[in-house]
Structure 1
Amino acid sequence: MRKKLVVGTRGSKLALWQANHIASRLRAEYPGMEVELKHIVTTGDKIRDVPLAKIGGKGLFTKELERAMLAGDIDLAVHSLKDMPTELPPGLVLAAVTERENPLDALISPRYGTIDNLPHGAQVGTSSLRRRAQLLHYRPDLRLHDLRGNIDTRLNKLAAGELDAVVLAVAGLRRLGWEDKITHQLPVSICVPAVGQGALALEARSDDRQVLDILTALNHRPTYRAAVAERAYLAVVEGGCQVPVGVYGLIQNENLILEAVILSPDGSRVVRDLLEGSAQQAAALGERLARNMLAAGGRDILREGKIL
């Protein structure tokens, strides 16, 4: 058994919470093992004044961590699963996925409460094209603003009166103890989550058998299977952060319910579908749903949005 593990993480409050959570679980599972955190700054952390879609969404929060792993500087990396590209660099694997937190998106609007109560033309902040497109599909009158930075930075802009509402992930708010700020959890019928939203991903070297075996104890099989389906879906659609796509897999016993949406950036066009099948065929189910939706108009939507 390894005597020490070096865990790579970004330096934001949320990333550190997530890394410390994983480190605590590893120490509990393997009491004699030392677990050390190593902070690594990613491209997404460095560039905060440009919308994610304009600088390329894939790997913005993972590349530097992956380089450190391949160089042997760290043994594993902790990511928000939604930040991980569907295609990993050679030599790295998705070793484990933790049990999913609440996967929904949260509206925070102390003054108005819910999305339906927002006044006509309300100013709403979000960093996600997926959220933007779905919000505009539901409420075309809303005025959406790009909102980058850590969660507390975004909440400060709301508190300063610059915006009427912001939309963030429920999971991140709960992990930081800010669940009480949520005024409306947006149902999947309004906002389908991002791939893997709410789950943590543990990435490791494919040839490091010891680390892979250690991380097995942290893997939550139902969440892992849902993640496999969602990532397989996105791989076929060929999407990243710059694509208005949402997909959410729900495991019930051995049954997988997979729901997805493809939208034009302005939310005016949408293709939505759902498939059910065996959780053991998660990847195949995700691929089939993607092909169905692309054939049903999703490909035209993405092409017209200059994404494909």
Structure 2
Amino acid sequence: MTTTLPTTLRLGTRRSELATTQSTWVADRLRELGHQVELVEIVTEGDTNLAPMTTIGGTGVFAAAIRQALLRDEVDIAVHSLKDLPVAPEPGLVIAAIPVREDPRDVLVARDGLTLGEIPAGGVIGTGSTRRAAQINALGLGVEVRGIRGNVGTRMARIDSGECDAVVLARAGLARLGLLDRATEVIDPLQMLPAPGQGALAIECRESDTALVEALRAIDDADTRAATTAERALLQTLEAGCSAPVGALAEVAEEEDGRLVISLRAFVGTLDGSLELRRSWVGPYDTPEQVGRGLAAVLLEDGAADAVRKPAGPSQPSPERRTEVPNATEREK
């Protein structure tokens, strides 16, 4: 157990431009609080292996090397994109802070300023995400979804080269890189729900470094933590990894009587678009895990298991397509 802070905090980050930008943002918040911080670059398998995510391990492929550096005491803090972090806790480590979340929606970056609905039949949309591919295919637009990997710049270059008519990216990443002007459409979550945790950062450290855990609480955002906890509880209950075709978005809302609640929406589907489940759930602000587990139970009852546990394979559609379930109370009626 370490009860004193190091003179300089070593912050581990992936070396990509987006990762270092995110880590620098966290470092600047800590510097504003009076801490000295240095960035330590770490290469992960996800950075060097550009094979499809489902073939190189999916869940945790970006986080594993940084977590090992933490456990070996090579760094003091790790900054992750929360959507890339496995839902199962890592023994010896703790997510000490989840700062204020960026806009979690996806965006389209397309040639000629096109929106999603304007891409002609047979057009090519690039994405390395099964979640995005499943939702695009479920829209029935008649486009081809092509698997691509690489950093933000590499993926957008596929448009300039003519390989793709458009790519789908996280709005948060473009915002952090100062590239929002490249987006031709912010995609409505009614069409495409983001990945659980998208737009949020997770700041992890060793559980035994109690002084550091306490110091990092200063940049934790309660609403962001509550919302993303609900999203990740849903993912964990579904037994789905971060590469599965699951979308989720939780928002904090205030009821008429002043009570805070969490409103959670989720999507589960098959890659070919033959199964599309969209459900919602509302529950108390102070029990976000129960909100996530409640909605996951609805999805599993409605046929989600095959889709999330075999994301690359064919799945049979659910025998019935229910309307959305607005909240627990209405479902019990």
TM-score range, shorter chain: over 0.9
Are the aligned partners of 2:245 and 2:311 in contact in 1 as well (CA < 8 Å)?
Answer: no
1:108 equivalent in alignment to 2:112: no
Aligned position for 2:47: 45
1:291 equivalent in alignment to 2:290: no
3-state SS of paired residue (1:297): coil
Shift in Å, 1:65: 0.4
Aligned position for 2:75: 74
Shift in Å, 1:110: 3.0
If the length of structure 2 is used for normalisation, what is the TM-score?
0.89
Aligned position for 1:268: 274
Deviations 1:160-202 (Å, cap 9, x if unpaired)? 1111001000000011010001101111111011011001110
Shift in Å, 1:271: 1.3
Are the aligned partners of 1:56 and 1:241 in contact in 2 as well (CA < 8 Å)?
Answer: no
Distance 1:268 1:188 in 2: 19
- Where do 1:112-151 residues align within 5 Å? 112-151=113-152
Greater C-alpha radius of gyration: 2
RMSD: 1.5
Aligned position for 1:61: 62
3-state SS of paired residue (1:194): coil
Shift in Å, 1:79: 0.6
Shift in Å, 1:304: 6.2
Distance 2:247 2:78 in 1: 25
3-state SS of paired residue (1:189): coil
Are the aligned partners of 2:15 and 2:41 in contact in 1 as well (CA < 8 Å)?
Answer: yes
Distance 1:16 1:187 in 2: 28
Shift in Å, 1:300: 4.0
Deviations 1:71-129 (Å, cap 9, x if unpaired)? 11111100111010001221111111111111000001132521110000111100100
Distance 1:304 1:176 in 2: 34
Range 294-303 or range 208-217, more displaced: 294-303
- Where do 1:1-308 residues align within 5 Å? 2=5, 3-30=7-34, 33-48=35-50, 50-253=51-254, 254-302=260-308, 305=311
Shift in Å, 1:242: 2.9
Distance 1:245 1:212 in 2: 31
Distance 2:128 2:312 in 1: 19
Distance 2:227 2:166 in 1: 30
- State the number of aligned residues: 305
3-state SS of paired residue (2:131): helix
Shift in Å, 1:145: 1.0
Q: Which amino acid aligns with 1:297?
A: G
Distance 1:107 1:306 in 2: 23
Identity %: 39
Deviations 1:139-165 (Å, cap 9, x if unpaired)? 351111111111011111111111100
Distance 1:112 1:53 in 2: 31
Range 154-163 or range 77-86, more displaced: 154-163
Q: Which amino acid aligns with 2:46?
A: G
3-state SS of paired residue (2:164): coil
Are the aligned partners of 2:238 and 2:308 in contact in 1 as well (CA < 8 Å)?
Answer: no
Distance 1:190 1:154 in 2: 22
3-state SS of paired residue (1:258): strand
Q: Which amino acid aligns with 1:284?
A: Q
Q: Which amino acid aligns with 2:178?
A: G
Give the 3 Å change call, closer, same or farther, for CA 259–43 of structure 1 in structure 2. same
3-state SS of paired residue (1:214): helix
Distance 2:107 2:159 in 1: 14
Distance 2:107 2:286 in 1: 31
Give the 3 Å change call, closer, same or farther, for CA 134–149 of structure 1 in structure 2. same
Q: Which amino acid aligns with 2:48?
A: K
Distance 1:97 1:275 in 2: 23
Are the aligned partners of 1:108 and 1:183 in contact in 2 as well (CA < 8 Å)?
Answer: yes
Once superposed, which parts of structure 1, at least 4 consecutive aligned residues long, lie more than 4 Å away? 303-308
If the length of structure 1 is used for normalisation, what is the TM-score?
0.96
Are the aligned partners of 1:128 and 1:241 in contact in 2 as well (CA < 8 Å)?
Answer: no
Are the aligned partners of 2:117 and 2:141 in contact in 1 as well (CA < 8 Å)?
Answer: no
Are the aligned partners of 1:53 and 1:241 in contact in 2 as well (CA < 8 Å)?
Answer: no
